[in-house]
Structure 1
Amino acid sequence: MAAPEILPEILVEDLRLTLASAAGPVDILRGISLVVEAGETLGLVGPSGSGKSTLLSVMAGLERPTSGSVTVAGQRLDTMDEDALARFRRDHVGIVFQSFHLIPTMTALENVALPLELAGKRDAVGEARRQLEAVGLGHRLEHYPAQLSGGEQQRVALARAVIATPRLIFADEPTGNLDTRTGEAIVDLLFDPERRRGATLVLVTHDEHLAARCDRRIRLADGLIAA
């Protein structure tokens, strides 16, 4: 009996995404093919407008491509409907946004517990408390996002992204709104092996120093992988 085929964690083939605009169609991604292995850390770099964040959004199941295939964790994202994509993200993906995307009416503790509560996990609040303590925010559990500094909000966002031990972590300019010292602390947390627990990490950044910490870097230009 033949051994089962082992797929990479992310397989992107001839990915294209075109958006409509008042001036006509705009090609954002123009035929990208990419393989990311399980447990790999990958940095996506390139100038603004090169398609980095769009590519990350497609791989995270947040944006649908115009054509091409996207297979992540063994599942074809480009063939899923919105409900299936939402379940996929819930079960497999953690996302860290540059602008944090915390729910303003929820405390830090409630924000971090939410993914586990949506998944029906037991002791969501207890695990959220442990995650926040692990990122140095045990004293901020009952504070709302508006009462937290930018660095504290990003640590809450990171705790929320990893609380369900996702297979994949996607980070879009995770240090872009932070000062250098705070940004370095966030990076250390993001790359911490215990916190990632073997998850595949894909991040978008303009920071070459940050990208250099990844196992591999890919540079995008005009919606293509640059040679």
Structure 2
Amino acid sequence: MTDPVLTITDASLSLDGNAGRVDILHDISLDVAGGETLGLVGPSGSGKSSLLMLMGGLEQATSGKITALGQDLTAMNEDQLARFRRDNMGVVFQSFHLIPTMTALENVATPLELAGARDAFDRAEAELQAVGLADRMDHYPSQMSGGEQQRVALARASAPRPRLLLADEPTGNLDETNGQAIMDLLFTLRDRHGATLIMVTHSGALARRCDRIVRLRDGRIDTGVVRAAE
């Protein structure tokens, strides 16, 4: 394994809910190598998405330490985390999270503009072409199918050329045909930008394409890190 781009050390996560404090993750330790594709799998409620959120600084660990690209995420405030994600990470969610009042091109260009890229719209156009949406750039999310919206979300995540690409059930809301297309695009974008890809998935087909699998159960790593099936 090459030097890790992401290291989790004894990380736990607890959240306060209506019924009191809920312990979600327990003493997770994990290294992710540069250029690796890692699949997070396990039953519903096992903590997969919560672990991905910790990796992206979208949730703060209750205890432990998370280091990404040499930076301690657990020592950052919200503004610092937002800047770190903007400059280094792309995140793809199951439910797309596109801005409904913006066209596909504007959705993809927005993070580039926030990062100060002068060629934001040129790069956004190139990314939309790369995901097969050259003829849909001026369409709004409501005018696109679920598969097309997820392609826009992939283009938006990859346009800043992130070193870390995080995907939470990227095929979960799609039919089999669109799901397969999104799988292929994820790996194409990973290779195009040389990113490290970490994804949560219930899809056995998608998990088998990963270099390694981490299985979670009840907020703990279950069988450890195992090599994915060929």
TM-score interval, smaller chain: over 0.9
Q: CA deviation at 1:39?
A: 0.5
- 1:98 aligned partner: 94
What's the counterpart of residue 8 of structure 2? 12
The structure carrying a bigger strand percent of its residues is: 2
Which amino acid counterpart does residue 32 of structure 2 have in structure 1? V
Aligned to 2:66: 70
1:84 match = 80
Residue of structure 2 aligned with 1:110, choices 106, 117, 134: 106
- In 2: Cα distance, 1:196 partner to 1:65 partner: 32
Gaps of 5+ in 2: 224-230
2:175 alignment partner AA: D
The share of aligned pairs that are identical, in percent, is 64
User: In structure 1, how many angstroms separate the alpha carbons of the residues matched to 2:189 and 2:133?
Assistant: 19
Asked whether the equivalents of residues 190 and 196 of structure 2 are also in contact (C-alpha less than 8 Å), the reply is: no
The Cα offsets for residues 3-45 of structure 1, whole Å up to 9 and x where unpaired, read as: xxx8511100001011112322111001100000000000000
> Where do residues 56-67 of structure 1 align in structure 2 (5 Å cutoff)?
56-67=52-63
Kindly indicate whether residue 172 of structure 2 is the aligned counterpart of residue 200 of structure 1.
no
CA gap of 1:169–1:115, structure 2 versus 1, over 3 A, is same
Q: Does 1:188 align with 2:187?
A: no
Deviations 1:137-185 (A, max 9, x none): 1111110001000000000000000001100000000000000011000
AA matched with 2:6? I
In structure 1, distance between residues paired with 2:182 and 2:114: 26
Is the aligned partner of 1:119 residue 2:115?
A: yes
- The amino acid that maps onto 2:59 is E
2:39 corresponds, among 37, 43, 63, to 43
Match of 1:27 in 2: 23
2:219 is equivalent to residue 216 of structure 1: no
Letter in 2 for 1:81: N
TM-score for the superposition, normalised by structure 1 = 0.95
Q: CA deviation at 1:195?
A: 5.0
Hey, what's the Cα distance between the residues in 2 that align with 1:111 and 1:170?
A: 18
Matched residue SS, 1:159: helix
Please say which of residues 6-15 and 160-169 is displaced more in the overlay: 6-15
* Counterpart Cα distance in 2 of 1:60 and 1:219: 19
What stretches of structure 1 move > 6 A for 4+ residues in a row? none
Tell me, which stretches of 5 or more residues in structure 1 are unaligned? Answer: 1-5
Distance 1:193 1:95, change over 3 A: closer
Cα distance in structure 1, aligned partners of 2:101 and 2:14: 35
Q: Aligned residue for 1:3?
A: none
Tell me which moved more, 187-196 or 56-65: 187-196
Q: Is the Cα contact below 8 Å between 2:190 and 2:197 reproduced in 1? A: no
Q: Aligned partners of 1:89 and 1:144: how far apart in 2?
A: 25
SS at match of 2:95: coil
